[in-house]
Amino acid sequence: MACEISHGRVEECKDSVSGLKAIYIINYDDLNEDNATFDTGTTDEEDELVSWTPAAPLSMYKYELKSTANALNTTINASRDNGTTFFSQELVVNLKRQDVVTHKQVKLLAYGRPRIIARSMTDQFFMLGFAQGCDVSAGTIGSGAALGDFNGYQLTFTAEEELPPLFIDAADETALATAFADGSATDAVIVTS
């Protein structure tokens, strides 16, 4: 039976931290899911993305996150009656301060369905929207009222996928760019402005 588990888990040490450092946004049509390679050494499932070869050099648009309000959560949706399971991926980001360039990019994000990589504070990378892409399902653009209120963009991205967010086999940003190298071995370009 394909759904039998194969590992246990010991109680982990308390040496981890939570939160997100950054997200990397990839236009949906820049990647074809047939060109993804997975680590299947310990499992027969697609749990860890090793590389993804785009047809042309890839741009990843990096958004740094410096707030405790940013979060990645996944809800497991399973129905015994229907025999179905899917994973609702939700990413909440807060981008401080409004500007004309970000204003346009937020509008384009709302129109599109990008794939998004989230980088945790412990330098783990997760791919959201692997097959279907992500949608901006909620958001606000606000100036705040008091001097200390939040001014900027609060966005919620959601994706419904057959799998939870995929781990990406990368320890840092350089390895991430290499994991998305094109067919001629040109690493992905991480765009910060």
pLDDT digits (tens, 9 = 90+) for 38-52: 887 655 556 788 889
pLDDT of residue 9: 77
- Residue 15, pLDDT above cutoff 80: no
pLDDT of residue 41: 67
Q: 167-190 pLDDT, tens per residue? A: 999 999 999 999 999 988 899 999
pLDDT of residue 1: 43
Q: Are 70 and 63 in contact (CB under 8 A)?
A: no
Q: Are 120 and 77 in contact (CB under 8 A)?
A: no
- Residue 129, pLDDT above cutoff 50: yes
Quote the percentage of the chain above a pLDDT of 70: 94
pLDDT of residue 14: 78
pLDDT of residue 2: 65
Quote the percentage of the chain above a pLDDT of 90: 72
- Residue 7, pLDDT above cutoff 80: no
Query: What mean pLDDT do residues 65-79 have?
Result: 93
Q: 77-99 pLDDT, tens per residue? A: 999 999 999 999 999 999 999 99
pLDDT of residue 45: 57
pTM score of the predicted model: 0.91
Q: Pick the residue with more confidence: 114 or 37?
A: 114
Q: How confident is the model at residue 111 (pLDDT cuts 50, 70, 90)?
A: very high
